[in-house]
Amino acid sequence: MSEQITPPRKTLYLQLADEMAEAISTGVLRVGEKMPSIRKLSGQRQLSLSTVMEAYRELEDRGLIEARPQSGFYVRQRLSFATPELTTPPKNPSHVFIDPLLTPSAVNRTHKEIRVDFGMAILSPKLFPNAQIQRMLSQITRQFPDLVADYGEPQGDLELRRQISRRSLIWGGKVEADEIIITQGGIEALNLCLRAVTQPGDVVAIESPAYFGLLQILESFKLKALEIPTHAKTGISIEALELATRNGEVKACVLLPNFANPLGSLMPDENKQKLVQLLEERNIPLIEDDIYGEFCYQGDRPIPAKAFDKTGNVMLMSSFTKIVAPGFRIGWVVAGKWQKQIEQLKFINTYSTPSLLQRAMARFLETGGYDHHLRRLRKSCAEQVNHAVNAIQRYFPADTRLNVPQGGYILWVELNSRIDTITLLQDALAEGISFTPGSLFSPSNSYRNCLRICCVEEWTTRHEKAIARLGELARKQLGTPESVPLAAH
C-alpha cells in the first residue's frame, strides 16, 4: 500500500490572507472599507506584525486591497465593467473647433438650476486649506508689507521657485530654481509653451481624447491637432506616435502622462522614457502637463517624463490652482531649451504673477502645510472616485466601459455606441444634473457616446440618485427598462 502524502500546511500569513479574501468575497468586508490596522489585527489574532504585513502584501498581490498614504489598507474596487479599448481617432491632422456652449462653465451659466454638477473639474472649496492659506497670507503681508506694491519679476518669486525646486527631488528631478518660471496658472504656462515652439498652421500631436481647454488654445492659435490613439490605462500609444511623427509634420507634442484629463490614464515609466527619446531624436518639443501628478492615491508620486530628459527638450508645467488655492492662480513651467523665449513671452504677456501670493504659497510649502493637505486631499479624492465607480457600476447599462484611475478625480465613461451624450446631457440638465459630453474632448467630434464625470465633493445620496438617474436616461435611449431600484446590487 502506497503511503498517503499529507499536503503541506499553509503558512500563517497565507491562512490569514485566505480568511480575509473570503471575508471580502462574501461582502463581510466591503469595497472601499478600511481594513483592520496591522497592529490591531496582530493583537487580536496573536500574530506577529510581520505575519500580518505579509498577509496584507499577499492580498495586495491578489488585487483585493490597496494601501493609501498615511491612511492604511482598504478593500480595493472590483470593476465589473470592461476598460475602454485603445482609441482609434482619424489619422490626419484637423483644424479645431470646440462648441463653447458645451463647456462646463457655459453650461453652468445658462442652467442656474443645476443641483448636481459632475461637469466642472474644480474641487469643492471645503477641500482646500483656506484657513491655513489665509493665515500665511496675513503673516506675509505683515512681514513684507511692501510686497503689496511690488510688481515682482517676470521669472517669479525666488522663494517659491526654490520650494518648487526642492519638491522636484521627490521624483528624482534636478530642477534648479533658475530654470523655473512662475505663471498665471497652468493655462498661461500652456499658452506660453505653445507660443514658444509653434506658428499658426503647425500640427500638434495630442492624446485622444484630450482636455477641451487644450483644444480651445489650439483653436485660438490656429494650430492643427493630430489625435494619437490612447489607452485609458497606459496613455498614448508610443507606436502610433512613432508612426505619426515620421514625416516631420508634427511641430510639438502636448501630453498629460500622469492621470490624464479625461481618461485618467497613467503612462508607465518605460513608455515615458521611450516617449522622451523618440521626440528628442526627431527634434519635436514635448510640453508635459503634470497638473494631476500629485493626485496619486497610493504609493509614491508618479514621476514626470521630464525625469528622463537629458537635453531640455521637455517643457514641464504644472499649477497649484487645482490642489491648493484656485484663487491664487499660480502655475509654473520648467522651460528647458526654451527658457529665454518663455521668459520674454511672460514679460510681454502678463509681466509677472503677484509677488504677495507667490510668497504666501512658498511659506505654505516651506512649513509643511502643503504635504499635510496633500495627504488629506488624496484620501478624499480616492473616496469620492470610489463612491462614483460603485454607483456607475450599480446603475449604468451592463455594456458600459469604465476606467478606474489610480489618481485624480475624473472618470471617463464609455456607453453603448447608440447613445448620444449630448442628447443625454440635455435630458439630464432638465433634471438639474450636469456632466461633460465626450465630443467636447475631440476636434474630430468623436466620443459622442462617452462622458466625463468629475468627483469634486463629498459623496451624498444626492450624488447617488443623480448617477442612478443618468443610468435611467441612458437606458431610455437604448429602449431598455428605465429604472433600477436604489437598493439594487
| C-beta of residue 477 within 8 angstroms of C-beta of residue 420 | yes
CATH homologous superfamily, domain 100-124+372-478: Aspartate Aminotransferase, domain 1 (3.90.1150.10)
CA separation for the pair 19, 304 (Å, rounded)? 39
Q: What is the pLDDT at residue 5? A: 47
Q: What does the chain come to in residues?
A: 489
Return the C-alpha cell found at 215.
483644444
CA separation for the pair 470, 402 (Å, rounded)? 15
Taking the CB of residue 128, how many other CB atoms lie within 10 A of it? 18
Residue position matching grid coordinates 444626492: 462
- Closest to 75 in 3D by CA, of 97, 51, 59, 96: 59
CA separation for the pair 37, 176 (Å, rounded)? 41
Percentage with pLDDT > 70 across the chain? 95
pTM listed for this prediction = 0.86
Name the band, by pLDDT with cuts 50, 70 and 90, for residue 2: very low
Please name every residue paired with 411 in a beta bridge, in sequence order, or none if there are none: 453
Residue position matching grid coordinates 484637423: 94
What are the DSSP E strand ranges found in 185-324? 203-208, 224-231, 235-236, 250-255, 286-289, 314-319
Average pLDDT on 317-341 reads 97
What values do phi and psi take at 287, rounded to 5?
A: -100, 110
Return the C-alpha cell found at 426.
440635455
Find the helix or strand (DSSP H, E) in which 339 lies.
helix 339-349
Q: What is the pLDDT at residue 485? A: 45
Tell me: the pLDDT tens digits for 440-463?
A: 999 999 999 999 999 999 999 999
Find the helix or strand (DSSP H, E) in which 371 lies.
helix 369-395
Residue ranges per structural domain of the chain: 12-75, 100-124+372-478, 128-370
Q: Is the dihedral of CA 165, 294, 437, 210 positive or negative?
A: positive
Tell me: the pLDDT tens digits for 218-237?
A: 999 999 999 999 999 999 99
Interstrand relation of 330-334 and 314-319 (parallel, antiparallel or unpaired): antiparallel
CA separation for the pair 159, 210 (Å, rounded)? 34
Query: 12-75 has which CATH code?
Result: 1.10.10.10
Give the chain's radius of gyration (CA, Å): 24
Taking the CB of residue 122, how many other CB atoms lie within 10 A of it? 16
CA separation for the pair 343, 214 (Å, rounded)? 21
In Å, how far are 17, 83, 101, 406, 410 from 265, measured between CA atoms? 30, 11, 27, 8, 10
Tell me: the pLDDT tens digits for 3-33?
A: 454 445 568 888 898 888 888 877 788 777 8
- Residue 457, sorted as left (phi over 0), alpha (psi -120 to 50) or beta, turns out to be beta
Number of helices (H), then strands (E), belonging to the chain: the values are 15, 16
| C-beta of residue 321 within 8 angstroms of C-beta of residue 175 | no
Average pLDDT on 455-484 reads 90
Residue position matching grid coordinates 500574530: 47
Taking domain 128-370, whether its CATH number is 3.40.640.10 is answered by yes
